[in-house]
Amino acid sequence: MSSVRVLVGTKKGAFILTADGKRQKWQVDGPLFGGWEMYHLKGSPVDPNRIYASQTSGWFGQIIQRSSDGGKTWEQPGTPAGEPTTTPEGMPKGESNKFVYDTSAETGKPLTTHQFYDGTQKPWVFKRVWHLEPSLTDSDTVYAGVEDAALFKTTDGGQSWHEQAGLRAIQGEKWGPGAGGMGLHTILLDPTNPQRIYIAISAAGAFRTDDGGKSWKVITKGLKSQYMPDPTAEIGFCVHNMAMNPKRPNVLFMQLHWDVMRSDNGGDLWHEVSGNLPTDFGFPIQVHAHEPDTVYVVPIKSDSEHYPPEGKLRVYRSRSGGNEWEALTKGLPQSDCYVNILRDAMAVDKLDSCGIYFGTTGGQVYCSPDSGDNWQSIVRDLPPVLSVEVQTLA
């Protein structure tokens, strides 16, 4: 029987939740890296034992951790063989902090986007890695979206990371931070075209490459924002999240700062599909693993009140690709609930009866093993949940 492994990143460590295909009884392991912000964990779709994790601290900086045995043991790739990965006090040494960003290899001219750029090629210590996206074909290749916004890639399992420099050349001087910082938080890989990648930045917008990262284009046509003084601007949109179904990668769904959006042509043009949602503000968006027109969002009240409308925790599902939405509430608290669900804190599994998962800032992780009809809390009282990802295991 197939099983699932849920990777949960929190403000004070990581947790691994496992269950069989029925998804009724759960084993909880953790906390891993207790006390550290674990911004994102994600497993390789090629090797179920390979997991990458973004570990960060205001005191000790950014660490990339890697597991090759399903999360039982971890290592810091990039640390020289034979050298300890921790200080005598037991803290990580930060050897994997050495991300190298390019000067002009991709663009032919220096990049002067942000104040940290000084025109040289050297190790760059930045704020954090927001999102890790392992390759669909190679367990040693991973993309990383960071703050301040840039895209990095490793092809050696995290030992070295190099910037995909062409991205910041696309009007990078106009990018600005959202309320949570200027993070590159979404990376979507097209399974039918290995040269095509989509990314999103808050608050810059959405971008696409069709040549593996050498060149990029802005894909924000059709987006609107009341906060931007220039209605014709391409750059400056606060995109919260994007999602696709691998069977139909040309159709994208987006949770914008306000509005739920859809594109049927790879991001070239967007149209609103918020429909009858109680509010179209939120952070995560996901697509059913087997039904490309079934989409999930979790509305919250507003950009200043980050909690569910009326204190009722409701996931909304559209089976028509947007516009018509239904509230999914069975098993979720319907009074006095004032949690938030962050952009990377929702995921789906690939089992026949597609499971939907999300974590809250109140430390709960919920699962619906039947595509959203019924929910259960599979763990409670964790630190605030930053990310939820799922591995479907044979």
Tell me what the mean pLDDT of segment 87-95 comes to.
Answer: 57
Tell me what the mean pLDDT of segment 90-116 comes to.
Answer: 48
Q: What is the 3-state secondary structure (H, E, C) of the chain?
A: CCEEEEEEEECCEEEEEEEECCCCCCEEEEEECCCCEEEEEEECCCCCCCEEEEEEECCCEEEEEEECCCCCCCECCCCCCCCCCECCCCCECCHHHCEECCCCCCCCCCCCCCCCCCCCCCEECCCEEEEEEECCCCCCCEEEEEECCEEEEECCCCCCEEECCCHHHCCHHHCCCECCECEEEEEEECCCCCCCEEEEEECEEEEEECCCCCCCEECCCCCCCCCCCCCCCCCCECEEEEEECCCCCCCEEEEECCCEEEECCCCCCEEECCCCCCCCCEEEEEECCCCCCCEEEEECCCCCCCCCHHHCCCEEEECCCCCCCEEECCCCCCCCCCCCCCCECEEECCCCCCCEEEECCCCCEEEECCCCCCCEEEECCCCCEEEEEEEEEC
The structural domains of the chain, ordered by start, are 33-79+92-381 (2.130.10.10)
Q: Which of 42-56, 90-104, 126-140 has the lowest mean pLDDT?
A: 90-104
Per-residue pLDDT for 161 more than 90?
no
What is residue 197's predicted lDDT score, i.e. its pLDDT? 98
What's the pLDDT tens digit per position in 233-265? Answer: 899 999 999 999 999 999 999 999 999 999 999
Is the pTM above the cut of 0.85? yes
What is residue 85's predicted lDDT score, i.e. its pLDDT? 62
Higher-confidence residue of 163 and 252: namely: 252
